[in-house]
Structure 1
Amino acid sequence: MRQAKWGRRAVMGGLVAGLAMLAPPLAAQSISGGYRAEGRNPDGSAYRGTVTIREEGGMVYVSWRVGNQSYNGTGTRNGDIIWVDWGSNYPVVYVRMPSGELHGTWGNGTALERLIP
């Protein structure tokens, strides 16, 4: 009897897991809007700036303003992961956090950036 009970639990657990995989993904929350940027350059120096993000037609458009310099990039989004080509050899890669912040890395992982809504 003990084996049969354990076997049913395993089968039910497998069915629940399988059904969860078939469920459609939840709609991702929009990341469009203005952000305050805080980051660290590859050399370790800190910077601050502003960022505007616009999502349109499956594309992500990003404009950074840091000091007297402006940068623009375009990218894509897969759920909470955003990849942005901004003209460097390596993209900026952000992860959308539950708080709405975007935490990212650039410079092939040698630099960090946090975008705060």
Structure 2
Amino acid sequence: MPLRGIPEEVWPEARRLLERWRARHPDLGDPIIKLGVGGIDVRLPDGSAPPGVASIINTLEALLGVPDDERYCQRCEARTDLLPDPGIEGFFFCRACWSERQKVSAAHEAGYDNDILEE
């Protein structure tokens, strides 16, 4: 089963979603579903993004998170377009803040200080 980093309790639903997707797109092969730093990612074996996977991503992200009314971005407190932080259970970031967080993290890994990043 092409599920990477997905908790076992979500496998039955992931399998059901995958089977439904396969029935609609039998010629594209099996997509790989994985939980990464940016949330759920779905790719074909060649690395391309398969069509029609938004419902798979949204369903699995909802299953992995807390109830919608309690989810919010840890940085800007937005309540829409949220991604789970795989490193901290129950933490979410909106896509914009997650993108910014990744840029800052990459800059820190490259050796830049917070003072330089704030300018």
TM category (shorter chain) comes to under 0.3
More helix by share: 2
Which has the higher Rg, Structure 1 or Structure 2?
A: 1
Q: Judging by fraction of residues, say which structure has more strand.
A: 1
TM-score (norm 2): 0.25
